[in-house]
Amino acid sequence: MQDANLQRRLILNIPTAFLLLFFVLPLTALVVLSFWQTENYKIVHDWTLMNYTTLATEGAYITFFLRSLVMAVGVSVTLVALAWPIAYFIVRYGGRYRIIFSLLLVIPFLSGEVLRLIALQGMLGPAGLVNGALIRMGAAPLRMIMYSNAASFIAFIYLYLPLVVTTVYLSLINFDFRLAHAASACGANRFRIFTEVVWPLNLSGTIVGFMLAFIPTLSASLVPRFLGGPNGTLYGMSMAQQFGESGTWALGAAMGVVLFLFSAVALAILSYGVDLRRTGFTGLGRQ
Amino acid sequence: MSNASSYIRIDNVSRRYGAFKALDDVSLDISKEEFIAILGPSGSGKSTLLRLIAGLDRPTEGRIHFEGKDVTELAPHKRGIGMVFQEFLLFPHRTVRENLAFPLRMRNEAKGEIEERVEWVAGILSLSTMLDRYPSQLSGGQQQRVALGRGLVARPTLLLLDEPLANLDRELRQEMEIEIRRYQKQLGIPFIYVTHNQEEALSMSDRIAVINNGRLEALGERQAIYDHPQTPFVARFVGKSSKFQGVVEPDGATVRLTRHDYEFALPSDKTFKPGDAVEIFVKNERFDITPKQHGGAGIPSKVVDVVLRGPFLEYVLETDRGDTVIAVKPKRNDPIPLQERVLLSWNPADCHIFKDGADDARR
């Protein structure tokens, strides 16, 4: 009895300690730092709201934030729209190769993000595969995809598609497709089978996929740095610069807090806005 | 071709999966207001037949007509059917009310009409108090009633039931058997009931279609199927019976069992040649048991166990050759004691005799 209690406490306490040490503590430090100041690469321990005032009033930061927000929403919505047919195809028609198909999606992850971005740079850049071929054929190069927000958009889609496909795939593979037969026997056509049964019952999985793309896109710094070009600065990239070149750590911390709060709010809206029971979630697993 | 009483007509329907014949040239006419059971062991093709009628699958050959209209190529949602599944398959993200309203909404009924129909079906199935619950909050029997309600609510042309009681416990099953039959009589539409459980088929249906190896093995009134099986398979599958091997004696009028010292007169309607090997099926309740000391003809056996089954007693008998035979008799206050030596016999008119290997010859 005593042993079981001890064991339970250990199992609970180890992750708790881990989270406190590596998540809550740094976050607290970040929040504290965001209310301080940095002058000449030194931290000044004066409590002030100045960082937040700067973020809320200076045009550049507002632009970066809105650009990031539009990018994140656009990327996540596009990804869900792309991932659904792919995942659906794998689940319905993949047969015994389903697991191989879904593992293939992971292959790009084996190389590392920077490498993949450099490869994309090679694809989309002025002398890259796409534009190089266009120029060879005597056509005008596509300026749109050279160091622009469109290039960043393509990169985000490329980076996060496997994640979203995998989450939707996992949701669909656990979906009982006989429910679709039942709906069909109840008089539902293909479109209504989808809107009334398949989509709502896979909504929670889809939301997870959406958030897995939305949150990193919102705070992305590498993609805009490699591919965004002069007008492609995103919030996360600007934040990284505060900690790097400009040495304005306190402002960077405030940007971090803003991102954190915004992501938390988005998560809260999505999870409270969706009645889990309306997605077939019983907390009891599939029955 | 089409006759007036056939409301649903299944015309020489086959379904092949590659070289495998799941369903082989099945024809079946079903009249309005009929309760028909499709009975067969698992893998016999009975569920395939149901899926073809529902439109969830298409036949390789043959046509299906509803009320004289060819529906073979129609999608399920255009056939106007109701269907109840073994696993219920209620929509887990919808309340009972929404589950019941679903078929009506799919037919774009007016809101008032939907409410009225849901109230009506909830009334019949005693679901009125649980309309706002989710399926996961209901018991198995309640879920089953919702599934039935969802199948019936939109006034379907016919109701298809795919082993709807298989997931319920025995007591509930018997209760639901009576209920389901009552709804069918009340609504006046055909119910096509697929089951591997011959008791369900016998207790509920007007007619029984026995399916085996994708073929329609027998079709008829339930009493006829039970009392006069036309094939060895039906004799074995419907009701509980014991099988014996025998040979027709040179006189052509007597059958002698090969393993046991018992012979009986061949019923006059059976024509076998002398020397024919035959299979004899006797329903468990058709055996006569007489104590050995009374003498007479019969398979010498002894009582090894007596099982009480409500108003019946099941005698487990062991023949002198070591075979086990079960004989069912009405309960008496003085059952035959254990280890008693008895003679097992039957009225020749009560057994079913087929030429040996008749099942194989048909295949």
pLDDT in tens, B328-339: 999 888 888 888
pLDDT for A139: 83
pLDDT for A287: 44
- Distance, in Å, from the CA atom of B119 to the CA atom of B127, rounded to the nearest integer, reads 9
Tell me the HSE value of B230 on the side-chain side, using a 13 A CA sphere.
Answer: 15
Exposed / middle / buried, residue A26 (Cβ in 10 Å: 0-12, 13-18, 19+): exposed
CB of A278 within 8 Å of a chain B CB? The answer is yes
Which DSSP letter does residue B20 get? E
**ipTM of model over 0.85:** no
Tell me the HSE value of A119 on the side-chain side, using a 13 A CA sphere.
Answer: 9
- Which structural domains are found in chain B, ordered by start? 8-234 (3.40.50.300), 240-362 (2.40.50.140)
A41: left (phi over 0), alpha (psi -120 to 50) or beta: left
CB of B150 within 8 Å of a chain A CB? The answer is yes
CB of A40 within 8 Å of a chain B CB? The answer is no
Which among A178, A189, A280 has CB closest to B92? A280
Backbone angles phi, psi at B317, to 5 degrees: -110, 145
pLDDT for A209: 93
Q: Which residue of B has its CA nearest to A199?
A: B93
> Would you say B266 and B248 are in contact if contact means Cβ atoms under 8 Å apart?
yes
pLDDT for A284: 53
Three-class SS state of B286: helix
Tokens of B343: 């003679």
pLDDT for B2: 43
**Could B102 and A284 be called an inter-chain contact, meaning their C-beta atoms sit closer than 8 Å?**
no
Please list every residue in chain B whose beta carbon sits closer than 8 Å to the beta carbon of residue A189: 75, 77, 106
- Distance, in Å, from the CA atom of A159 to the CA atom of A144, rounded to the nearest integer, reads 19
Tell me the HSE value of B113 on the side-chain side, using a 13 A CA sphere.
Answer: 12
pLDDT for B1: 41
Q: Which residue of A has its CA nearest to B50?
A: A185
pLDDT for B359: 64
**Could B154 and A187 be called an inter-chain contact, meaning their C-beta atoms sit closer than 8 Å?**
yes
- Distance, in Å, from the CA atom of B15 to the CA atom of B18, rounded to the nearest integer, reads 10
- Distance, in Å, from the CA atom of B90 to the CA atom of B257, rounded to the nearest integer, reads 53
CB of B102 within 8 Å of a chain A CB? The answer is yes
Tokens of A145: 């995809």
pLDDT tens digits in sequence order for chain A, 287 residues long: 567 788 888 888 888 899 999 989 999 999 999 999 888 888 888 899 999 999 999 999 999 999 999 999 999 999 999 999 999 999 999 888 888 887 888 887 788 888 889 888 888 887 788 888 888 888 888 888 888 999 999 999 999 999 999 999 999 998 999 999 999 999 999 999 999 999 999 998 899 899 999 999 999 999 999 998 888 899 999 999 999 888 899 999 999 999 999 989 988 888 777 777 777 765 555 44
CA distance B76 to chain A (A): 6
CB of A198 within 8 Å of a chain B CB? The answer is no
Low-confidence stretches of chain B (pLDDT < 70) are 1-5, 358-363
B88: left (phi over 0), alpha (psi -120 to 50) or beta: left
**DSSP per-residue codes, A170-193:** HHHHTS-THHHHHHHHTT--HHHH
What are the Cα distances from residue B151, in Å, to A88, B7, B123, B302? 28, 19, 15, 52
The DSSP bridge pattern shows strands B20-30 and B8-17 to be: antiparallel
Please list every residue in chain B whose beta carbon sits closer than 8 Å to the beta carbon of residue A176: 89
- Distance, in Å, from the CA atom of A30 to the CA atom of A36, rounded to the nearest integer, reads 10
Three-class SS state of B211: strand
pLDDT for A282: 58
Distant-in-sequence contacts of A59-66, Cβ < 8 A, 24+ apart? A60/A238, A61/A235, A61/A238, A61/A255, A64/A233, A64/A234, A64/A235, A64/A237, A64/A238, A65/A235, A65/A258
Is CATH 1.10.3720.10 correct for A48-279?
yes
Give the residue among B301, B282, B281, B283 at the shortest CA–CA distance from B291. Answer: B301
CA A265 to chain centre: 15
Domain limits of chain A?
48-279
- Distance, in Å, from the CA atom of A173 to the CA atom of A190, rounded to the nearest integer, reads 19
**DSSP per-residue codes, A213-272:** HHHHHHT--HHIIIII-TT---HHHHHHHHHTTT--HHHHHHHHHHHHHHHHHHHHHHHH
Q: Which amino acid is at A70?
A: V
H, E, C per residue of B111-175? HHHHHHHHHHHHHHCCCHHHCCCCHHHCCHHHHHHHHHHHHHCCCCCEEEEECCCCCCCHHHHHH
Distant-in-sequence contacts of B145-148, Cβ < 8 A, 24+ apart? B146/B88, B146/B90, B146/B96, B146/B99, B146/B100, B147/B84, B147/B85, B147/B88, B147/B89, B147/B90, B148/B84, B148/B180, B148/B183
Mutate to test the interface with A, among B77, B81, B100, B114 (most CBs of A within 10 A): B77
CB of B108 within 8 Å of a chain A CB? The answer is no
Q: Which residue of B has its CA nearest to A176?
A: B89
Please list every residue in chain B whose beta carbon sits closer than 8 Å to the beta carbon of residue A280: 91-93
**Could A185 and B75 be called an inter-chain contact, meaning their C-beta atoms sit closer than 8 Å?**
no
Residue corresponding to tokens 């009576």 = B178
Q: Which residue of B has its CA nearest to A285?
A: B136
- Distance, in Å, from the CA atom of B186 to the CA atom of B188, rounded to the nearest integer, reads 6
Mutate to test the interface with A, among B52, B85, B93 (most CBs of A within 10 A): B93
Residue corresponding to tokens 């295949």 = B363
Three-class SS state of A285: coil
pTM higher than 0.90 for the full model? no
What are the Cα distances from residue B292, in Å, to A3, B96, B326? 68, 62, 17
Please list every residue in chain A whose beta carbon sits closer than 8 Å to the beta carbon of residue B55: 184
Which among A178, A184, A192 has CB closest to B76? A184
CA distance B114 to chain A (A): 14
